[in-house]
Amino acid sequence: MIRKPRHIGHKIALVCSGLCTLMMLPAAGFFIWFWQTRGLGDSWTPSLAAVVAFFGCCAGVLYATSVPQPLLPSENEPLKS
């Protein structure tokens, strides 16, 4: 499948996706550390789990946004079934 090249908006979304992934890693480390030391009863532990989920979803959505659309067939080409 031939895709269009990434334009500036796609590139910005891809970079932001990488940044969200990088910010998710220390949050996941802190979540595991808080879970092991303080348990799930402390209010910080579920908050850090929410932060990890937010950054993970943010990275996924931004990556999906960064993927360029496939090229449309020209008007003269017959449709492939």
Kindly report the pTM of this predicted structure: 0.79
How big is the chain by its Cα radius of gyration, in Å?
Answer: 20
State the Cα–Cα distance between residues 36 and 67, nearest whole angstrom: 38
User: What is the DSSP code (8-state) at residue 42?
Assistant: S
pLDDT attached to residue 73: 73
Q: Residue 39 — left, alpha, or beta (φ > 0 → left; ψ -120 to 50 → alpha)?
A: left
- What does residue 3 show for φ and ψ, rounded to 5 degrees? -115, 155
pLDDT attached to residue 77: 67
**What per-residue string of b and e applies to 48-57 under the rule 16 or more CB within 10 Å gives b?**
bbebbeebee
Token duo for residue 17: 């996706």
For 36-73, what is each residue's pLDDT tens digit? 999 999 999 999 999 999 999 999 999 999 998 887 77
